[in-house]
Amino acid sequence: MADKELVNPPFGPLQGVRILSSGSLIAGPFGAELAAEMGAEVIQVERVGTGDRGWRQFGPMLPARAGLDPVSTTWAQERRNVFCVTLDPSLPRGREIFLKLAARAEIWIENSKARTWDKWGLDDATVWALNPQLVITHVSGFGQTGDPEFLKRPSYDYIGQAMGGIMDQTGFPDPHPPTRGAPWLGDYITALFSLWSSLAGLTYARATGKGQAIDLAQYEAIHRLLGGTMIEYFERGIIRERLGNKARDFQPGDTFQCRDGWIVIAALAGEPYDNILRTLGLDPADDRWQRARTQPDSPDGIEFDRRLRDWLRPLSVEHAVPTLNAMKVASSPVLNARAMAEHPQYGARGVHVQWDDEVSGPIRGIGVIPRFSQTPGGIFRGSVPVGHDNHRVYRDLLGLGDAEIQQLQREHII
């Protein structure tokens, strides 16, 4: 008997892809949810009784419909289109049910400490014996192999950002402390790596019939985004230092204060930079001002920066940004939530949309990104309560009877 499609009608570029997600918080489940927005069928396994308590209740909270527990704003944004079931895979019957789910999936994304699932008899070899094409993506803080001391350690966003090296480059110079990228940038980076690598593995599995395991360490995903940092160290002995918002190799590239707020400016070589010079009453043909562009810390570079800041300080943001853009200088206000909600470009592209959340009712948030011209993604439902899809998945997909499902609930297996 063919599996029943849980997503009906199908949509998006990933329609027909079934992903089993068994992680909590962000690094694995967010990647899976992005796939759900593109039409993949995502089954999210949560803890029996409480669900993903950390992320469901990571405030601020939304009011809930009668009889339902409130959920966080982040949960409502990041668990759309996902089928949520509860299951305890550490119990023998729970293990059997999990294997049935894995046998019907193409991708399994799990995030936990290394070898957690092995303890429950759900190691890769056991799962592949039932589904040799399955792509298994292991997301963990420190990887599945390496120093045993690290493999047993917990890791969260802060830890990954610190160990991966991005925190040491984020923030202002000493004596100011290093700064994390918000909100939970390290986890979100890891989630994106988990999704693209899973889909890459799926491409190979569909072509060859062979699944494989993907070992994704959070700190390594973060570390991969450091550009030339490590080549600079290995080849030249350079250790990058925190510079705040300032670009390292050119100016202007920084945040600047206007009369009523902050803006950012990035002007590379050529006409944009020369236009700024003319506006400041400086001669673009003067070598000292051309050197100032690539030598921000030189006396001329410091003088250019001072003059630009003096020119901007009395201007309003509303005046400064259009003036700079008219000079072909890239510039933007630093926007908060209110400003983004009211911004004409956000509005023109329909970035913010409304959908019906199963817990909280009609809510408004960020729509589906990016946009596909032929197979667009979509939102067919919002987030759901704990165990909301137990009957739908276990009965319709696995073929369990109502009486058996009720017995599994009484025994706290689901």
> In the predicted model, what is the mean pLDDT of the chain?
95
* Number of domains the chain is built from: 2
175 belongs to a structural domain? yes
13 belongs to a structural domain? no
Question: Do the Cβ atoms of 20 and 107 come closer than 8 Å?
Answer: yes
- pLDDT, tens digit, 9 for 90 and up, residues 323-380: 999 999 999 999 999 999 999 999 999 999 999 999 999 999 999 999 999 999 999 9
128's torsion region: left (phi>0), alpha (psi -120 to 50) or beta?
Answer: alpha
The pLDDT value given to residue 191: 96
The pLDDT value given to residue 196: 97
H or E stretch covering 231: helix 229-236
Q: Does one domain contain both 136 and 210? A: yes
Residues 110-130 have a mean pLDDT of 95
Look up the pTM and report it: 0.93
The pLDDT value given to residue 141: 93
44 belongs to a structural domain? yes
Q: How far is CA 410 from CA 48, 53, 101, 388, in A?
A: 11, 21, 21, 16
Q: How far is CA 336 from CA 20, 262, 341, 342, 343, in A?
A: 35, 11, 9, 10, 10
Q: Does one domain contain both 149 and 286? A: no
The pLDDT value given to residue 154: 86
Residue 395 belongs to domain with CATH number: 3.40.50.10540
Q: Does one domain contain both 53 and 84? A: yes
269 confidence band (pLDDT: 50, 70, 90): confident
The pLDDT value given to residue 23: 85
211 belongs to a structural domain? yes
Q: Does one domain contain both 78 and 189? A: yes
Q: Give the residue from 335, 360, 375 where a domain finishes.
A: 335
- pLDDT, tens digit, 9 for 90 and up, residues 147-184: 999 988 888 899 999 999 999 999 999 999 999 998 99
68's torsion region: left (phi>0), alpha (psi -120 to 50) or beta?
Answer: beta
Q: Does one domain contain both 157 and 269? A: no
Question: Do the Cβ atoms of 127 and 136 come closer than 8 Å?
Answer: yes
Helix (H, G, I), strand (E, B) or coil at 89: coil
CA-to-CA distance for 50 and 223, rounded, in angstroms? 34
- Using alpha carbons, select from 19, 23, 21 the residue that is nearest to residue 39: 19
- Using alpha carbons, select from 72, 413, 190, 398 the residue that is nearest to residue 181: 190
Residue bearing the bigger pLDDT, 248 or 144:
144
Q: Does one domain contain both 197 and 54? A: yes
231 belongs to a structural domain? no
Q: Does one domain contain both 169 and 283? A: no
Q: Would you list the DSSP string of 303-316?
A: HHHHHHHHHHTTS-
The CA-CA-CA angle for residues 29, 44, 399, to 5°, reads 160
Residue 325 belongs to domain with CATH number: 3.30.1540.10
Q: Domain range holding 314?
A: 253-335
- pLDDT, tens digit, 9 for 90 and up, residues 49-106: 999 988 898 879 999 998 899 989 999 999 999 999 999 999 999 999 999 999 999 9
Q: Does one domain contain both 157 and 213? A: yes
Q: ω into residue 322 within 30 of 0, thus cis?
A: no
